[in-house]
Amino acid sequence: MSTDFDLNHNKLAGDSTYVAIATSLSGQSRIDSREAFNRYCRKACSLWREHFSDAPNGQSAFFCELLERINRRDEETIQTSWGGVVIFLHDPPRVEKYLVIRQGGYLALETHEQKDEHLHVQEGAGLVLWRNAASKPLTVEALAPGSRFHFEPGMEHCLIGTENLLVFERSIDPKGMDQDLVFIYEPDSNNF
């Protein structure tokens, strides 16, 4: 598995709303260490705040409810540095859960050997980095409500919450929930 990643910002730049962000991020178009990964994610969040400083970063009542459950460490929740997870279905190998990503938070750049996951953005905004072949650069795309992604086993990916971001994940996880996480680069513990 490669740990050096070029980035392709063409999809992000393809939307006139994000051209300036894509252009700025292109100057940091290589991730080859944990430090470079964290620097890239923090820069993406910073650029987003600069370009969309007047946009409200509201939280729905549902987002707040899920985050409160995570902060209380209720059953079927996992607290993380970026927010957390609320599990709604765990019927091995099937798992359905919400990824509750606070503004400025981001998940690890990761892959899975067997896990197959479908993501659907419910609310908020962010970026996704992904690739389906080791010889290609990571594609950078904007996330918005309604965005959908399918990550097959072996596809590297990362979610960045440039705003509060709520993502529903439906997956088939043959190894067991969270047993098939192959972290390439992990976020700093305080990635805000």
For 70-95, how does the pLDDT look when each residue is reduced to its tens digit (9 = 90+)?
Answer: 999 999 999 999 999 999 999 999 99
End-to-end CA distance of the chain: 28
Q: Give the separation between CA 124 and CA 49, rounded to whole angstroms.
A: 13
Tokens of 141: 């795309």
According to the model, what pLDDT value does residue 42 have? 97
Q: What is the model's pTM?
A: 0.95
Beta strands in 30-125 (DSSP E): 30-31, 77-80, 83-91, 94-101, 109-111, 116-124
The answer to whether position 190 is within a domain reads no
> Mean per-residue pLDDT for 90-109?
97
Least confident of 10-19, 127-136, 157-166: 127-136
According to the model, what pLDDT value does residue 68 have? 97
According to the model, what pLDDT value does residue 189 have? 77
Residues above pLDDT 90, as percent of the chain: 88
According to the model, what pLDDT value does residue 192 have? 53
Tokens of 145: 């409500």
DSSP assigned state of 14: T
The pairing of strands 182-185 and 148-151 is unpaired
CB proximity list for 64: less than 8 A, separation 6 or greater = none
pLDDT score of 36 more than 70: yes
Distances (CA, A) of 68 to 20, 30, 73, 123: 35, 36, 8, 17
The answer to whether position 122 is within a domain reads yes
Question: For the chain, what is the domain count?
Answer: 1
According to the model, what pLDDT value does residue 144 have? 96
Domain that includes residue 59, residue range: 5-185
pLDDT score of 1 more than 90: no
Q: Give the separation between CA 22 and CA 9, rounded to whole angstroms.
A: 6
The answer to whether position 192 is within a domain reads no
The answer to whether position 109 is within a domain reads yes
112: helix, coil or strand?
Answer: coil
The answer to whether position 25 is within a domain reads yes
According to the model, what pLDDT value does residue 101 have? 98
Are residues 163 and 103 in contact, defined by beta-carbon separation less than 8 angstroms?
A: yes
The pairing of strands 77-80 and 83-91 is antiparallel
- What is the pLDDT confidence band of residue 54, given thresholds at 50, 70 and 90? confident
The answer to whether position 35 is within a domain reads yes
CATH assignment at residue 82: 2.60.120.10
The answer to whether position 44 is within a domain reads yes
Q: Give the separation between CA 129 and CA 67, rounded to whole angstroms.
A: 24
Residues above pLDDT 70, as percent of the chain: 95
In the block, residue with structure tokens 């209720």: 74
